[in-house]
Amino acid sequence: MLDRESELPSFIARLPKVELHVHLEGAVRPETLWELSQNKSGLTQKVGEWISERRAQRYRYGSFGEFLVAFGIVTLLLEKPQDYALATTRLSEWLAEQKVKYAEIIFSAGVVLWKKQSVGAVFEAAAGAAEEAEARTGVRVRWIFDAVRHFGLDHVREVLRWAVRYRSRGVVAFGIGGNEERGPARLFPDIFRAARDQGLHVVAHAGEACGPESIRDAVELLGAERIGHGLTAYRDPHLMALLRERRIPLEVCPTSNVATGLIARFEDHPLPKFLSAGLVVTLNSDDPAMFGTSLENEFLEAARCFGFSRETLTDLCLNAARASFLGEDEKQKLCDEITRAANL
């Protein structure tokens, strides 16, 4: 009989999963980049060089800023609405392979605006591709429109307008990402209030490159319902208490934090501290293709580095289902599916 440890990978493989923090652009795998570059003149070679360079560096970046530049290069290859449709299709297929049943995909509307593309045309192509893929693979997708916080108030406001416009196409939330220092939460309370008033959920990346005060501001000034990363929360016991009492889920992405140089190793992530402090923790992949990971791999690494049991791994999936922006009935169905599969 196999021991429990050697059974874990197959347990993880079949566990129904929920992904709450994955960027569409960051999930474009090298093979999809090649696919995208087929009809583009002059770019193929550059893409090839970029991919091989990243692979040589084992998906590590010298700094968070360097990662943002790399992210920008990928987004420039997404030139046309059909490129976004292809990226979405391939992501849905990849999620299906990992038994992800439900995903809230972050659509960087802010980056689309920065590229002077039509948010409407691009998003409609992506949403259509997700609907088509759902019919084929069963992966349900909802969307989070993300603004670049250091691009200023007008930019962030414009992203919100687009998010509101596409609520009927599966946009469930509005959020901010980018440079926390140059775009602090205190700039955006009015915009977040407007988002909530319009019926959107609100999220924020926080405590990634900045300290715990950035997380506190996201919760208290913006009313963020979930925190992207929240890595530095462990430094402030009062903030930990606040997150526990208000049951604000953290979208933890350990491999991302290693790849962008915020922590040295996966096992240095405070994830076990968060769990033992009673916080609501979800496990996510962030920009999996750029970090050489996947959601399934995050579960495998968490099991390997922290010795998590089947029960803890199942709880992480259940936390994500409950922290999702689905309706209560749908959340319950998802939880039942996870529990059933875990007990097989």
Which of the residues are catalytic? Answer: 208
Using the structure block, give the residue that is written with the tokens 């998010």. 163
CA distance linking residue 166 with residue 141, whole number of Å? 14
Nearer to Zn ion (CB atom), residue 202 or residue 335: 202
The pair phi, psi for residue 113, each rounded to 5°, is -65, -40
Q: Write down the least CB distance from residue 25 to Zn ion, Å.
A: 10
CB nearer to Zn ion: pick between 180 and 338: 180
Q: Which residues of 243-262 are buried (b: 16+ CB within 10 A; e: fewer)?
A: beeeebbbbbbbbbbbbbeb
Residue number with CB closer to Zn ion (19 or 286):
286
Closest residue to Zn ion: CB criterion = 286
Between 37 and 257, CB nearer to Zn ion: 257
320 and 20 Cβ atoms separated by less than 8 Å: yes
DSSP for residue 115: T
Shortest Cβ 288–Zn ion spacing (Å) = 11
Q: Specify the pairing of strand 100-107 against strand 17-23.
A: parallel
Least spacing, CB of residue 12 vs Zn ion, in Å: 22
Kindly state the smallest distance separating residue 259's Cβ from Zn ion, in Å.
Answer: 12
Q: Is 114 exposed, middle or buried (0-12, 13-18, 19+ CB in 10 A)?
A: middle
Shortest Å, Cβ 134 to Zn ion: 23
Q: Please report, as ranges, the residues that interact with Zn ion according to CB under 5 A.
A: 286
Smaller CB distance to Zn ion: residue 217 or 287? 287
| Amino acid symbol at 161 | R
Dist CA 262 CA 254 (whole Å):
10
